[in-house]
Chains A and B, each alone.
Chain A
């Protein structure tokens, strides 16, 4: 019964409804496919009109442009410009899908570790940060393509 009642997240978007961009730049594509040509690029936290939904893809329009966007690149509610927007600090517009490298354990957190005697934990977390940041975005894309996840499903 639960499965019958399931409503996929992207089904939240319906023609005539609204959606928002949540990345620094979101590409509107000519077709509902990850490698389709780019029709236009939309900036962060822009309101879009939903024109059509096809599986995990949503065709939207904004400012005279129309194109397809993977539902996972859209938000149902407008992102906070005062907080969420700053997640992008240190992430270039051309590499927004990459994990935010160059954001190590904050110095004040390191100081906290020293105050609390968490030396080993500090080494562990610093190792984790280094290890995670060493995983390139290309590995994630390869995984998504092979496993048919994200925009490749």
Chain B
């Protein structure tokens, strides 16, 4: 299968996305799919990331998280519990009607992640560590805060990625290579978010903000204000914070506990 044929097969799948108006960093994925049909239509040059774009980005980031962390634990009782607590919290958040989904990653590591659009994940290891609903709520509230504050989206919105994508959109691309480049831009943007979530981590102030917003959210929803703090102290006491598998992408536990 040559490159052009391969690309058109890929775009053929996109073309099936009726009703999708997903722009990403300046180009419209829906229009990109139309390009597969007509090879000539131009994507809109809007640089913002709206709800549909967020849904596409979030789904893609969620796929990468799930793939990296051993897939999802398909225990409906556990997933039910996590979602009851998660939705109680999310209902009090600044984005109560987002499509919130809470899943458990089948991994013994101790970590939690979120993806734009309402995906929240906690590893099996961290789930087991949470002693009660208050502690579990503290963890989930922290991740919800990352989403409501759009921390992951800001990674690409303020980066050179956005400028590059906008530039591409402005080229009025009419050829397959330009379409392919736009898809590559999309994948690069997802990669950038994944690198931050799983390797470099958010900057400390972003994590502290998620701790603070999450703590307030937990209180508003009726949970203990100390749930997250108790989890962090447990990690510190067990010296789990020293492990590179445990919240390795987060600031030092001692400082987070002090601020909470």
Contact = CB atoms under 8 A, between A and B. Distances in A.
A121 B84 contact: no
Contact of B84 (A86, A127, A135): A135
B99 A125 contact: no
Q: Is the interface of A mostly helix, strand, loop or mixed?
A: helix
A112 B63 contact: yes
Contacts of B25: none
B13 interface: yes
Contacts of A125: 59, 62-63, 66, 72, 103, 119
Given A3-B226, A9-B219, A72 B92 contact: yes
A149 interface: yes
Given A82-B50, A89-B51, A23 B96 contact: yes
Contacts, number: 189
Given A6-B225, A109-B63, 7 more contacts: A72-B220, A84-B95, A108-B29, A125-B63, A132-B79, A132-B102, A143-B84
B91 A106 contact: no
B14 interface: yes
A129 interface: yes
A13 to B, nearest CB: 11
Interface residues of B, number: 63
A131 interface: yes
5 contacts: A9-B220, A72-B220, A79-B94, A110-B13, A115-B183
Interface in A70-112: 71-73, 75, 77, 79, 82-84, 86-91, 96-97, 99-100, 103, 105-112
Contacts of B92: 71-73, 150
A56 B71 CA distance: 38
A111 B83 contact: no
Interface of B: 10, 13-14, 16-17, 20, 22, 29, 48, 50-52, 55-56, 58-60, 62-64, 66-67, 71-72, 74, 76, 79-80, 83-85, 87-88, 91-92, 94-103, 118-119, 133, 183, 186-187, 190, 216-217, 219-223, 225-226, 229, 260
Contacts of B222: 56, 144, 147-150, 152-153
Nearest to A129: B101
B97 A122 contact: no
Given A9-B220, A108-B20, A22 B94 contact: yes
Nearest to B90: A99
B97 A87 contact: yes
A33 interface: no
B14 A131 contact: no
Most buried by B among A88, A91, A150: A150
